Amino acid sequence: MVKPVHKFKIFKSDAAPFFFYIEIFPLDLAYYKIERTLMLLKKINTNPIMPLPMRVDRVFNGEKSLLIRPKEPISFSIMDDLNATINPTAFLQYGTEKLIYFAEIRAFEKFVIPLKIEKVNKWWESTKFLYAKLSRIEEDFSAFLRAYLSTVLKAKLNNEDLINAATNYCKIIQEVCEKRINENSILIETTRKETNVRMYMQKVAKYREKMKRVERVEYHPELVDIDIYDLAEKGFKYNIDKQDLFLDDIKPKEIKYIPLLFYDDLLECMLQNLKKLDEGDDDILDPTFMLDKNIITLQNSKELDNINTQEFSWFSPFEELNFESSIQSIRSALLDYFKTKGYIDKNTSNSSSSPSSSR
| Residue-level pLDDT at 352 | 45
Task: Tell me the whole-structure pTM to 2 decimals.
Answer: 0.91
Residues 6+ apart with CB under 8 A from 140: 176, 180, 262
Please tell me what DSSP assigns to residue 44.
T
C-beta atoms surrounding 274 within 10 Å:
16
Q: Comparing C-alpha atoms, which of 85, 74, 73 is closest to residue 300?
A: 85
The H or E element spanning position 230 is: strand 224-230
Task: Kindly give, in sequence order, each residue whose CB lies less than 8 Å from that of residue 347, ignoring residues fewer than 6 positions away.
Answer: none
**What is the structure's pLDDT at 319?**
95
Q: What amino acid is encoded at 314 in this protein? A: W
Q: Which residues contact 28 (CB under 8 A, 6 or more apart)?
A: none
In the DSSP assignment, the letter for residue 12 is T
* Of residues 296, 301, 355, 343, the one with CA closest to residue 48: 296
pLDDT of residue 359: 35
Q: What is the torsional sign of CA 116, 119, 125, 131?
A: negative
What pLDDT does 88 receive? 97
Are residues 224 and 259 in contact, defined by beta-carbon separation less than 8 angstroms?
yes
- Distance, in Å, from the CA atom of 230 to the CA atom of 310, rounded to the nearest integer, reads 20
**pLDDT (0 to 100) of residue 6:** 87
In order of 22, 26, 70, 177, 302, the CA distances from 170 in angstroms are 10, 15, 20, 11, 31
Please tell me the predicted confidence (pLDDT) of residue 236.
86
pLDDT at position 309, please?
73
pLDDT (tens digit, 0 to 9) for every residue of the chain, 359 residues total?
555 578 999 988 999 999 999 999 999 998 899 999 999 999 999 999 999 999 999 999 999 999 999 999 999 999 888 999 999 999 999 999 999 999 999 999 999 999 999 999 999 999 999 999 999 999 999 999 999 999 999 999 999 999 999 999 999 999 999 999 999 999 998 887 889 999 999 888 887 777 788 888 888 999 999 999 999 988 887 666 666 667 878 899 999 999 999 999 999 999 999 999 999 999 999 999 999 999 999 988 777 666 667 889 999 999 999 999 999 999 999 999 898 888 777 665 554 444 444 33
